[in-house]
Amino acid sequence: MSEGSKQQVYTLTVEVGRKPGDGLPDKATGAALLIYASGVDEAEAVRETVAILKQADLAPLDVSGYGTLEERLAAGDEIDAEERDLMARALAENSVVVAQMTPFYD
């Protein structure tokens, strides 16, 4: 692996709509997911995340990226040990980790 293709973990939020079998609460109209996803760049992390969510019968509508751990720290974000552990897990497993799901209700 060349130095330029180093995996990093990106913090993403994904808004999902409703779809049969999505596992969201009955009265929810959708949800926001806080996700840590690995990728060589943010675009790859987003593509992988959307693909995995679709495989899980979720309906991704919108993705917002917040950058890497280093970028978030530089922006002044406070990142606790639990969040860092989830980021480390996403990197170690080269995976997508859903850290939090917040259902939306009308």
Identify the pLDDT of residue 4.
52
Verdict on whether the full-model pTM lies above 0.95: no
Series of mean pLDDT values for 10-residue runs along the chain (106 residues): 72 97 94 97 96 95 96 96 96 95 95
Q: Which alpha helices (DSSP H) does 28-78 contain, by range? A: 42-55, 69-74
Helix (H) or strand (E) holding 83: helix 81-93
| Tokens matching residue 104 | 């939306």
Per-residue confidence (pLDDT) for residue 10, from 0 to 100: 98
Largest CA distance in the chain: 48
